[in-house]
Structure 1
Amino acid sequence: MIPFHITGGLVLGPEGLSGAPLSVAEGRIAEGRAGKAVHLPGWEIRAGIVDVHGDGFERHLAPRRGALRDLPAGLMALDAELAANGITTAVLAQFFSWEGGMRSPDFARDMLEALDTVRPHLVTDMRAQLRVETHLIDRFDEVEALIVRHDIRYVVFNDHLPHDALDKGRRPPRLTGQALKSGRSPEAHLALLQKLYDRGAEVPGAVSALAARLAARGVLVGSHDDADATARRAARDLGLTVSEFPETQEAALEAVTHGDPVVLGAPNVVRGRSHAGKVAAADLIREGLCTAIASDYHYPAPVQAADILSADLGQDRAWALVSSGPAGLLGLADRGVLAPGRRADIVAVNPATGRPGLTIAGGRIAHADAQAAAALLSA
């Protein structure tokens, strides 16, 4: 793309808001006034959103169960949705689980292959996170091979077994629906759950060993849904340094006290509470117990959450939670801040809509609303 500079807007840079122009050249933020002027009077120019965990992509890949399986087409559509929501770097949280369907190992392989295929054609920087079920210890070699093959840099461990029911020898709730989703009979599905549950004593050692091997390769490793401080300590002892979506203030405090990054959900902030009845993310954020806000299951939410939080935190601190904070968590030192030499990942918010009107990813136009398109064409 030819060099250009944005004028007339307020740029949210390292020193706060400024009316200075913002230049883009050769895919980077540049000094001075590069190329032609793009006039966006009254718009706010911010660093592109780095979404550290999102699974909203699932509806693009399988809008109805079993109806469509054109994964590359779905990922291309996702590219457009991410850009329309100001997301320039997205980590797609893909399950590797016994749960079946889109969470199955087979689907994980297909999704990762499709992502590698379409990546050269994407505008946004789309990456994968693997969400590994802790009790699938017999398939950890397969997990590790996938991580190496697809150069996955972020892995978290989940435990979705219905422990309460299995502890008591009861039939787990929603068993029939889960079985149908996985393609098993209810009896076969229950037998699998019981088999995995019975090997629980082997799980910590297997997870710890895999986490250590991944960390040695430079892979970021974390836990998901830490229930309390004890759970966070146990996860840390296994080498799972990131705490994704801690369920209580105690878990988040335990993480931050020991320097563990904390990821919280933007939809939780927008709703004002957890949809599952857990701790309110905004409360944790106001207490300083958050490193990054993620889209979780709704891609419009990061912009909305940052705007909500700006009333208490100030715009620079609030926006950092969706830009420089997650970039730092992922080790992406080339983005997250509008500073010369950084990757030109930019979102310009249209004051008429309060929504991203122009998104630039790596110096390329990823999204433009009607007003932004008119400004670009007149440049």
Structure 2
Amino acid sequence: MKNELILKNAQIVLKDEMINGHVHVKDGVIDDVSEGALSSVLDKSAEDFEGDFLLPGFVELHTDHVEGHYAPRPKVRWNAMAAVLSHDAQIASSGITTVFDALRVGIDHDADLSYDDMKTMADAFHRGVEEGTLRADHFIHLRCEVSADDCLDAFHKFDQYDLVKLVSVMDHAPGQRQFVNIDQYAVYYKGKLKMSDADFKEMCVRRTAASERNSDRFRTEIANICRERGVILASHDDATVEHVEESVRHDVHVAEFPTTFEAARASHQAGLAVLMGAPNIVRGGSHSGNIAAKDLVEMGVLDILSSDYIPYSLGQAVFRLAHEDEAISLPEAVRMISDTPARAVGLEDRGSIEIGKRADLVHVKKSRRTPVIRQVWRNGMRVA
């Protein structure tokens, strides 16, 4: 039937277990999940997975991957709608069926991208959603650099954007949070921006002063606005127990990329969903020299994985954790990219293979060390 989808002979990854069986979808919703063989009547119309894995659609909370499609070279701007469509195609083909696209608010004066660029991309996302041209389900995540002088004014430029459902507050000034080690800060920014020693020193002085001037005030004001609007708030790069206590006071729900074991443990114990990058798992450590996500998994304090800058890393990370590192089971790993992030942002209709949930599904074939995303469905419709 036109509005039906039947998938059989699959290793189905449920929230707490795996079963060998079949899934029946009607009108975009999961209608049945059962072990064993299908009845002969349904068997003929079913798609045979031949023992491959069936996972719930991945839920991505933090990716700024779209920027590379919109600004592929310095000073180059691609057509925004084409950039969004290209980004969306890569997101969907990576198994991501729900994505929170991160756009910057609070931009340093020497940045290549401007607020006009951010609004242009936001407008393209809204157009894609309204016209139904996007494969994944897209929302907007505003990444607020609270040390920037214009952060709050820029934040308000997105007041009328309905897709804004997640906001994170961050401060990338030197000597704190992500960059407590000034040598790591120098490696990152001098390499990224091709700075001389003198220019780097001037930037550090400028950013430190801006942080002291703005961060506490803007962090508090944005937190209050999010609370009033019912927008989910995330912290970013918390490094100390005091940072976590501040996040709790601000009603933060998601703790993104804590930089120390103490902050990760405190966040998890306080009920915040701790998020780390899947590339950290795949690479075996942080690119900025901070804690390894795998260590947090073994401590039992990591809740969510984000693809961050590599969309395909989500599938890679969960199979590495379960099958190579043997740190946790596959259902536990898959929850980190599906059910837990969905619940963290209030999306109760997706994130797991259960009767009554949206039929957001991913067909994965295990091939040596790299899982292969074969097919992806959103609301029961194939999108990749």
TM-score category of the 2 structures, normalised to the smaller one: 0.7 to 0.9
C-alpha distance in structure 2 between counterparts of 1:123 and 1:250, whole Å: 39
Establish whether residue 316 from structure 1 lines up as the match of residue 331 from structure 2.
yes
Summarize deviations over 1:50-79 as a string: whole Å, max 9, x none.
111112222222221223321111111122
Among 253, 256, 267, which residue is 1:255 paired with?
Answer: 267
- In structure 1, what residue type is equivalent to 2:32? E
- In structure 1, what residue type is equivalent to 2:261? Q
Aligned to 1:203: 215
Q: 1:266 to 1:14 in 2, by over 3 A?
A: closer
Aligned to 2:78: 69
Among 219, 227, 233, which residue is 1:215 paired with?
Answer: 227
Counterpart contact for 1:101–1:107, Cα < 8 Å = no
Q: Aligned runs of 1:332-351 on 2, under 5 Å? A: 332-351=347-366
Aligned to 2:180: none
| Cα shift at 1:292 | 0.6
| Cα shift at 1:19 | 2.4
Q: 1:102 to 1:48 in 2, by over 3 A?
A: farther
C-alpha distance in structure 2 between counterparts of 1:322 and 1:135, whole Å: 30
C-alpha distance in structure 1 between counterparts of 2:23 and 2:221, whole Å: 47
Instruction: Provide structure 2 residue ranges, at least 5 long, that are not aligned to the other structure.
Output: 177-184
Aligned to 2:381: 364
Among 63, 73, 79, which residue is 1:54 paired with?
Answer: 63
| Cα shift at 1:359 | 0.6
Establish whether residue 117 from structure 1 lines up as the match of residue 118 from structure 2.
no
C-alpha distance in structure 1 between counterparts of 2:19 and 2:284, whole Å: 31
Summarize deviations over 1:275-299 as a string: whole Å, max 9, x none.
1111010110121111210001111
Aligned to 1:5: 6
Among 146, 149, 154, which residue is 2:158 paired with?
Answer: 146
Q: Aligned runs of 1:1-379 on 2, under 5 Å? A: 2-14=3-15, 16-31=17-32, 36-99=45-108, 101=111, 103-119=113-129, 120-136=132-148, 138-162=150-174, 178=193, 194=206, 197=209, 200-310=212-322, 311-352=326-367, 354-367=371-384
C-alpha distance in structure 2 between counterparts of 1:323 and 1:254, whole Å: 23
- TM-score, with normalisation over the residues of structure 1? 0.85
C-alpha distance in structure 1 between counterparts of 2:64 and 2:126, whole Å: 18
C-alpha distance in structure 1 between counterparts of 2:313 and 2:276, whole Å: 12
Aligned to 1:374: none
- In structure 2, what residue type is equivalent to 1:316? P
| Cα shift at 1:232 | 2.4
C-alpha distance in structure 2 between counterparts of 1:203 and 1:15, whole Å: 41
Q: 1:199 to 1:23 in 2, by over 3 A?
A: closer
Summarize deviations over 1:180-229 as a string: whole Å, max 9, x none.
9xxxxx79x96997388257245313321221121121111122111232
- TM-score, with normalisation over the residues of structure 2? 0.84
RMSD: 2.8
Count of aligned residue pairs for this structure pair: 354
| Cα shift at 1:238 | 4.1
C-alpha distance in structure 2 between counterparts of 1:314 and 1:156, whole Å: 30
C-alpha distance in structure 2 between counterparts of 1:336 and 1:79, whole Å: 19
Summarize deviations over 1:262-312 as a string: whole Å, max 9, x none.
111100011111111110101101211112100011111111110111122
C-alpha distance in structure 2 between counterparts of 1:39 and 1:148, whole Å: 46
Moved more, 14-23 or 233-242: 233-242
SS in 1 for 2:156: helix
SS in 2 for 1:234: helix
Aligned to 2:181: none
C-alpha distance in structure 1 between counterparts of 2:49 and 2:190, whole Å: 54
- In structure 2, what residue type is equivalent to 1:336? G
Q: 1:207 to 1:307 in 2, by over 3 A?
A: same
C-alpha distance in structure 2 between counterparts of 1:233 and 1:11, whole Å: 39
C-alpha distance in structure 2 between counterparts of 1:140 and 1:350, whole Å: 46
Q: 1:351 to 1:98 in 2, by over 3 A?
A: closer
